[in-house]
Amino acid sequence: MSQLRQPLLRKLVQSQYIDIFAALLILGVSVAKGFHGTIYQNGAMQFGIPFAELGNYVRNGAFPLGILSVIAAIFSVLATRLVGKQNNWGNIIGIITTISSGVLDYLFGNHSAVITYPVTFAIHNLATYRWSQGAKIKKRDTWYYVILGVGMLIGFGLVYLGAHLFGGKTDNAFLITVSLGFGLSLGGNFCNAFKYEETWFSWVIYNIINLVKNAMQLNIANVAKYVFYLFNAAITLFDWKLNGDAKADVGVA
């Protein structure tokens, strides 16, 4: 640690206590707001179902949207923390959480998830492979900007195409918000596969947009998740830029 330019940043990024705090933050906010009592039944969401009655609703065909959203949000945060620690298990867990997040996002009204999340799934697989081959942190170059620009174009194209084909929420404010978020995530995930240190700056912007999107969708678990993500992305950005590779974790799979 003595050779690091900013050892405190590396300690924060690597801290297991912050991992636990993030999980408890999402769980606590969700329970306090009663989000765990959210279900999806007969093509619509219902909020505020008492916990004691959830079992009866599920047996009658309801989907426990709130509980599963909380679980998915916790695993998503832990995956992101592992990526920040430069541990490839974060990318591996990200493959799994992409599937669950896509299903939940669709149920919350983003029907373009049918064609957007498979792209994210593929990029997570690419990141897992490249990191397993020993990818090292690199500074931005021309390709970094090309990736971000192309990601944004594809993001808008797929979201609007998905809304046209599959419906769901189709008001412009929502679609623009989703398109910006998805476009940034495409660029960010692809830059992560190549381990650009500025990847985390993309995530700072992405997290702000997704705070707005999930507030519009009333997905309280994800609102709490993205509040934490803002903090995590900021400290990880500076850790990668100032401290470089965490050599013990590079290529771990």
Q: How far apart are CA 225 and CA 235, in angstroms?
A: 16
- Written as tens digits, the pLDDT of the chain (253 aa) is 447 889 999 999 999 999 999 999 999 988 888 888 999 888 888 888 998 899 999 999 999 989 998 999 899 999 999 999 999 999 999 999 999 889 988 888 889 999 999 999 999 999 999 999 999 999 999 999 999 999 999 999 999 999 999 988 888 888 998 899 899 999 999 999 999 999 999 899 989 888 888 888 888 888 888 899 999 999 999 999 999 998 644 443 3
* pTM of the shown model: 0.84
pLDDT at 247: 67
Provide the CA 90 distance to its chain's centre, in angstroms. Answer: 11
Q: How many residues does this entry show for the chain?
A: 253
What are the CA-CA distances from residue 12 to residues 81, 85, 239 (Å)?
Answer: 10, 10, 9
Name the token pair of 103.
Answer: 């299903």
Q: How far apart are CA 80 and CA 70, in angstroms?
A: 15
pLDDT at 248: 45
Name the token pair of 172.
Answer: 């412009």
DSSP secondary structure, the chain, as one string: -TT-S-HHHHHHHH-HHHHHHHHHHHHHHHHHTTGGG-EEETTEEE----HHHHHHHHHTT-B-HHHHHHHHHHHHHHHHHHHHTT-THHHHHHHHHHHHHHHHHHHTT-TTHHHHHHHHHHHHHHHHHHHHTT---B---HHHHHHHHHHHHHHHHHHHHHHHHH-S---HHHHHHHHHHHHHHHHHHHHHHTTBTTHHHHHHHHHHHHHHHHHHHT-HHHHHHHHHHHHHHHHHHHHHHHH---TTTTT--
Name the token pair of 5.
Answer: 């330019």
Q: How many CB atoms lie within 10 A of CB 223?
A: 22
pLDDT at 107: 86
